[in-house]
Amino acid sequence: MIEVLWHGRGGQGAFTAARLLGAAASIADGAYALAFPSFGPERRGAPMRAFTKISDAPIGDRSAIDRADYVIYLDDTLLDASGEAWQRELKSGGRVLVNSVKRYADERIVAIDANGLSTEILGRAIPNTVFLGALSVLCESVSEENVIEAIRQYMPAKLHAKNERIVAEARERVLARGPQGGGEVAGAAGTEARAAVDSARSSEGFEGSERFGGPESLERSETPGTPESPEPSETPENVSRETSRVADEGGHAGASVSETPDVMRACEHIPVLRSHFVAPPSLDPAEYARTTCYAAGHLVAKNAGWRNERPVINAEACTGCLQCYLYCPDGTIYKTPSAAAHAADSRRSQGASAPVAVDYDFCKGCGVCAKACRFDAIRMIPESEANAR
Amino acid sequence: MAAKVNARTITDDELFFGHKACAGCGGSLAVRAALKVLGPHAICALPAGCMSAVGFNFPQLCFANNAIITPFAATAAVLSGIEAGLRAQGKKPEDCTVVGFAGDGGTADIGLQALSGAIDRNDDILYICYDNEAYMNTGIQKSSLTPFGAKTTTTPAGRNAHGCLTQKKSLFEIVAAHGIPYAATASIGYLPDFMNKVQKAASIRGAKYIHVIAPCPTGWGCGVDETVEIAKEVVDCGLWYLAEYEGPQVSGVPGGKVTLNRDPKEFTSVEAYLRRQGRFRALTDEEVASVERGRDEKWRYLRSL
Amino acid sequence: MKRFLSGDEALAEGVRLARPQVISAYPITPQTVVVERLSEMVESGQLEAEYIHVESEHSALSAAMGASATGARTFTATSSQGLLYMAEVLTYAAGGRFPIVMMNANRATALPWNIYGDQRDSLALLDHGWIQVYAQDNQEALDLALMAYAIAEDPRVSTPFMVNLDGFALTHTYENVDVPEPEQADAFLPPYQTGNRFDFEHPVNMGYSAGPEFNRYFKYEAHRAMLGVAEVIAEVEQRFAAAFGRRYPGLIEAYRTEDADAVLVTLGSIAGLARACVDERRAAGQRVGLVRIRYMRPFPARELACALAGAKAVGVLEKDISFGAEGTVFTNVNSALHQAALPVPTLNFIGGLGGDDISLEQMERVFATLEDLAANGTAPRDSRGDCDSPSASAQSPQPAQPAQPVAPKNVSRETSRVVFLGVNDADPAAQPAPPQPNPAQPVPPQPAPPQPNPAQPAPSDLAVAEANATEGGR
């Protein structure tokens, strides 16, 4: 059995890709596949997973994939640099495929500039079908012919030609790198990862979803919803896994959370009222499961991994009007101790700290604050830029 | 009446924090802002829906105050029970508001019976409907508060229909018709107005209802940073209105009194509002014009109240 | 104090003595009297409680749940379709571990619709996480109201509690009831104390969702708590006996089962008739006995196995049928027998549906059938189909094929172990032949004229006699 584990953000088309791959791999007689998303309460922008299983016999096991032959990242901010997470998820002899312009030393990682390639052909960064092309080179069970057939059967007609071009181009780039193909970036380096950010944030990205008749390869079921629609999962195990991956890679999400049920400790970082825990409530099922009554405000996971962009406050331009604080849907902008002093200091001397600050552990990067600011004191910058600083 | 609330006077505590709502979620902003006005002694009840799904999934419990999930149809009934339970035990603090947050479907469809019952009993509760104009939690299906022309997954835009064929139910008027002590409409685009209505409601004994428009970028087809902007625009173009109803008990006026908090001399463009959202993409110019006519009729009625 | 009360009134007295702080209920026949009496008690100040006039059963239980979440003692009551309408909320209350006490007047479910008693409503909801008890008489109804709170609110239990009264047979039937004094009741039942409630000092979130990794623990704990209820019931009944002098027998009540060959298992008020019948058959030299199931949840599997260990035939009489299977009580009893490896033949008697009266003659026939079964062995089981029984396969000369299942094609779907009283219980020759339409002369479809049943007033009479009945289903 070939197992493929897809990592993406809700809205990037991970499940569509998982589905198309399954369709392609099971076109031949005697070929079987399963494709399914993870389910969970997180919403658009949150890290999510999807799964494809391919076999020459009917597949009875419908459980999630823990170890895969191919682990695919549609967003390189989800790939942890330490390698701990993906190495745990990769079978021996397996490959990691990542949408990135970065270079990776490890030969098992194949980097493809899928944002660049899809932007070139589709006009925006929808990276999912690039990886179908790549897999048709790397994986024997997936032929180019069947990938094209799957695209023709399961995508809207107006998308066929462009996505077929994407597949062909992706194949060429992977083939050009030789059969091993690890470590290097396939495709035009230097294309801004920014494109992905734009597509995830803008209304164009939204319109790309099939739900609104958009032209691109996103899938309705990836976006909102709870159990009825496929969603990124928030199982405590994979919260910790995903959180730690994001944390390690981005370096902005604070300490990683450990794996086992002891993830259920309160984050130390959580502001204000969360501090009312004198002692953390019991984590023993025999205790907590006796009622559905538990300490209010108990948090175990941060939301930083949702973000492709972050707001940065320019202390000199900030007037302390608090509109950003007021309108933040997540309450992640807070008044700093210097707020009062700042308000009094009409000249806003250089180097003074801003009267408000952003809690980057929980900011989802929506940008409402930047729009609410009437003094251009908030700028949204890509996470990659923030990390490079 | 307490002083007006604003960004400086509300509590610094974040009472709804760490939730898993979509980036730029309007509903979560409404809940957050209301709780910052009501303070930590508020007790919340939320039916199955977006805010409960993203708000408390054990062990990530994002309400810092007392909160409970309710059956989908039962928000108002659970509120009544909480309020009665506290009163019966003499345990209700002076500053405790028993407040419900339900979506448009949970309020105008499945929860309407329980809401009507609670208003009829005039239980001392505050019911806040965060209206994102469809069942967003389950992936954008039509509710009775989905406006004409909006594409949802159950009102698809195709050759024969361009989205939702029915008009948005006038829930504010339905609630007001009960003679409720206080009802109001609001928008998260005008957050201070909303917060002051929440504060006013909290100061009144008996049943209170606030209907706040809370855009959903995912379901409306707009950018995640546009939530607040678009919530402002829906008011400015006249497709939503900011109003208050004070029942006879509060206003002393038989039949109650309606106040339009905002009565624009001129509206901004309905077409611009509709065209910037993916959900209205299929509307023809003629249909856009009919929406505009509907707006004008609605305002003739509102101004006559 | 001795008083002549209906089951509804007796239960209302019990509720008054339990001092619930919040009552929310929707009027529905035949429990209407309960909520009327309680309203009067609240109005007169006899009972200090908040009474919420909800607009539906769904809201009734939802409001009770909200009140319970504040730590208040709560009560609600319903019946039949009303119980089914609140079914969704039953699981919320159980999962939230709210010790709400609810009275349910057992009544037929639609369609065809009527207002009379049977047990199809509550037995359909055994899986919803509530303790379920079935009263036999009005005294037990009153006493259960008090014991229900003591059991449900025990921190080891913390589970909602449904007290079932047979519609009309108990709810509207008057008999002498001893009503305890408030001081006695207060000494027996102290105020409700719990940590499972809102707290302004240390706020809590309640009734949240929990993903797959956690969900099972909540369900497991609820199951474990329910299993432990038997012990708490025994303790509470002992305290109750000490306080009021009335002793209750736990999950089941076994009557003359010690040496019985044929035992009838039943529940609710019909046990009174069955008991009389047992005495009669005993006098005639038959070794028969009766088990009255009091608690359906937790299910008394162990107690039944003990009581039925010596029986040669077991019958289950219930006012319920799960179409396409058998009576639900029967399924549960058979499971208990199987778990205890008791290979006793069993028969299911379905009666009393839609208020149908079960007569003494019918009850005698039930016992006669069981006596036959006890004397003649496993005939009904064999008549179920032509297939070899599992035990027969085991004795077959080809033990080399143990994996061979019982040939399913031979198992008859017609389960002759299920007997509908008044339908297929009598000698088939005695049954009037169903009207045969004359093919040459088509007859418009027309129901057969109703057979007057002297044992029961005609529905219209009862409706007149019982003002509440005119309210209909809700």
Interface residues of chain C, partner chain B, Cβ below 8 Å? 21-22, 24, 48-50, 52-56, 58-60, 62-72, 74, 88-89, 92, 198-200, 203-211, 214
| Inside any domain, residue A296 | no
User: Are residues A183 and A275 part of one domain?
Assistant: no
Report how many domains make up chain B: 1
In a domain, B246, yes or no: yes
- Residue among B109, B143, B148, B187 at smallest CA distance from B297: B148
Residue A315 and residue A169 in one domain: no
**A201 vs B144 pLDDT, higher one:** B144
- pLDDT value of residue C269: 94
- Residue B244 falls inside a structural domain: yes
Q: What residues are paired with C255 via a beta bridge?
A: C290
**Of all residues in chain C, what percent carry a pLDDT higher than 70?**
81
Q: Tens digits of per-residue pLDDT, C417-471?
A: 889 998 887 644 444 445 554 544 444 444 444 444 444 444 443 333 333 333 4
Rounded to two decimals, the ipTM of the complex is 0.96
- pLDDT score at B246: 98
Task: Inspect the interface and report whether the beta carbons of B77 and C66 lie closer than 8 Å.
Answer: yes
Least confident residue range of A360-369, B252-261, C435-444: C435-444
Read off the pTM: 0.84
Residue B259, strand partner residues: B244
Q: Which residue has the tokens 């006009």?
A: A123
- Residue A169 and residue A61 in one domain: yes
Q: Provide mean pLDDT across the span C192-199.
A: 97
Identify the band that residue A10 occupies on the pLDDT scale cut at 50, 70 and 90. confident
Q: Is residue A195 domain-shared with residue A240, that is, in the same domain?
A: no
Any chain A CB within 8 A of the CB of B71?
Answer: no
What length is written for chain C? 474
- For the residues B220-226, what does the mean pLDDT come to? 96
What CATH number is associated with residue A365?
3.30.70.20
- Residue A357 contacts by C-beta under 8 Å, 6 or more apart in sequence? A313, A333, A334, A336
Q: Comparing B234 with C452, which gets the higher pLDDT? A: B234
User: Phi and psi for C301 in degrees, rounded to 5?
Assistant: -60, -45
Q: Taking CA atoms, what residue in B is nearest to A303?
A: B18
Pair A146, A16 in one domain: yes
Question: Which residues of A are less than 8 Å from C96 in CB distance?
Answer: 291-293
- Of C433 and C203, the structure prediction assigns the larger pLDDT to C203
Lowest-pLDDT choice from A378-387, B99-108, C136-145: A378-387
pLDDT bucket at A124, cuts 50 / 70 / 90: confident
Taking a contact as any Cβ pair under 8 Å apart, which residues of chain B between 88 and 127 contact chain C? 88-89, 91, 93, 96, 113-114, 116-117, 120-121, 123
* C49 Cα to chain B: minimum distance (Å): 6
Same domain, A259 and A365: no
Averaged confidence pLDDT in chain C = 86
Interface test with C, best of A291, A294, A299, A300 (most C CBs within 10 A): A291
Mean pLDDT of B211-235: 97
At A145, the pLDDT band (50, 70, 90 cuts) reads: very high
Q: Helices A114-122 and A128-138: crossing angle, nearest 10°?
A: 120
Which residues in chain C have Cβ-Cβ distances shorter than 8 Å to A234? 211
Q: What is the pLDDT of residue A343?
A: 56
Q: Is residue B20 part of a domain?
A: no
Q: Using one digit for the tens of pLDDT, what is the confidence trace for C149-193?
A: 999 999 999 999 999 999 999 999 999 999 999 999 999 999 999
Q: Which chains border A (3 or more CB–CB pairs < 8 Å)? A: B, C
Average pLDDT estimate for C49-63: 97
Taking CB atoms and an 8 Å limit, are A326 and B19 in contact across chains?
no
Facing residue for A329 by CB, picked from B13, B24, B67: B24
> What is the mean predicted confidence (pLDDT) over A226-248?
31
Asked if C55 lies within 8 A of B41 by C-beta distance, the reply is no
Domains and CATH numbers, chain C: 2-197+212-244 (3.40.50.970), 252-387+413-420 (3.40.50.920)
Would you say residue A298 lies in a domain? no
Measure CB to CB from residue C208 to each of B41, B69, B116 and give the nearest one. B69
CA distance C106 to C92: 22
Question: d(Cα C297, Cα C303) in Å, to the nearest integer?
Answer: 13
Which has the minimum average pLDDT: A63-77, B181-195, C150-164?
A63-77
A35, A158: one domain: yes
Task: Name the amino acid, one letter, at C204.
Answer: V
- Among residues B239, B227, B296, the alpha carbon closest in space to that of B273 is found at B239
Q: Which residue has the higher pLDDT, A280 or C16?
A: C16
pLDDT category at A187 given cuts 50, 70, 90 is: very low
Q: Which domain holds residue B178?
A: 26-304
Does B223 contact A43 at a Cβ distance shorter than 8 Å? Answer: no
Which of A183, A200, A222 marks a domain boundary? A222
B226 contacts chain A (CB < 8 A): yes
Out of C52, C72, C88, the one facing B89 most closely (by C-beta) is C72
Asked if A6 and A50 sit in the same domain, the reply is yes
Confidence of residue A341 (pLDDT cuts 50, 70, 90): low
| Residue A214 shares a structural domain with residue A242 | no
- Per-residue pLDDT, averaged over B80-97, amounts to 96
Please check whether residues A356 and A326 belong to one and the same domain.
Answer: yes
Query: Cβ distance B103 to C77 under 8 Å?
Result: no
Would you place residue C416 in the very low, low, confident or very high pLDDT band (cuts 50, 70, 90)? Answer: low
Range of the domain at A181: 2-222
The residue ranges of DSSP E strands in A29-184, in sequence order, are: 32-37, 47-55, 68-73, 90-99, 109-112
Vertex B159: Cα angle to B153 and B165 (nearest 5):
55
Taking a contact as any Cβ pair under 8 Å apart, which residues of chain B between 237 and 276 contact chain A?
276
Q: How many CB pairs under 8 A join B and C?
A: 157
Q: Which of residues 163 through 202 in chain B touch C, CB cutoff 8 A?
A: none
Averaged pLDDT, A12-40: 90
Residue C17 token pair: 């003595």
H or E stretch including A64? Answer: none
Q: Structural domain tally of chain A?
A: 3
Average pLDDT, chain B: 96
In a domain, A93, yes or no: yes
Q: d(Cα C314, Cα C327) in Å, to the nearest integer?
A: 14
Who among B22, B60, B229 is closest to A300 (CB)? B60
What span, in angstroms and rounded, lies between the C-alpha atoms of B55 and B45? Answer: 12
Flag the least confident range among A55-64, B73-82, C170-179, C195-204. A55-64
Chain A CB contacts of C156 below 8 Å? none
Give residue for tokens 């609710």: C268
Q: Does residue A270 lie in a domain region? A: yes
The percentage of chain B sitting over the pLDDT mark of 70, rounded to a whole number, equals 99
Residue A229 in any domain: the answer is no
Question: pLDDT per residue over B28-59, tens digit each?
Answer: 999 999 999 999 999 999 999 999 999 999 98
Residues A204 and A122 in one domain: yes
Q: In this predicted structure, what is the pLDDT of residue A243?
A: 27
Q: Is B255 a member of any domain?
A: yes
C4 touches chain A (CB under 8 A): no
Q: Do C205 and B63 touch (CB under 8 A)?
A: yes
Nearest CB to B77: which of C21, C59, C199? C59
The reply to whether B6 falls in a domain is no
The domain that holds B99 is classified in CATH as 3.40.50.970
Mean pLDDT of C29-58: 95
Residue A352 near residue A345 (C-beta atoms within 8 A): yes
Position A142 confidence tier, pLDDT thresholds 50, 70, 90? very high
Of B60, B218, B278, the CB nearest to A44: B218
One-letter identity of residue A171 = R
Test B59 with A298 for CB contact under 8 angstroms: yes
* Closest by Cα among B173, B167, B132 to B291: B167
Q: What is the pLDDT of residue C379?
A: 43
Please check whether residue C236 is in contact with residue C249, taking contact to mean a CB–CB distance below 8 angstroms: no
Nearest CA in chain B to A334: B12
Residue A231: inside a domain: no
pLDDT of residue A77: 87
Residues in chain C with CB shorter than 8 Å from the CB of B79 are 66
pLDDT of residue C436: 52
- Whether A201 and A130 map to the same domain: the answer is yes
Please indicate if any CB of chain C lies within 8 Å of the CB of B65.
yes
In the three-class reduction of DSSP (H, G, I as helix; E, B as strand; rest coil), residue A103 is classed as coil
In the structure encoding, which two tokens stand for residue C168, read together?
């009309």
Final residue of a structural domain among A222, A248, A276 = A222
B218 in reach of chain A (CB within 8 A): yes
Domain-terminating residue out of A222, A250, A272: A222
Considering only CB atoms, A296 lies closest to which of B20, B63, B157, namely B63
On whether any CB of chain C is under 8 Å from the CB of A288, the answer is yes
Q: Judge whether A230 lies within some domain.
A: no
Considering only the beta carbons, identify the residue of C195, C205, C211 that sits closest to A235.
C211
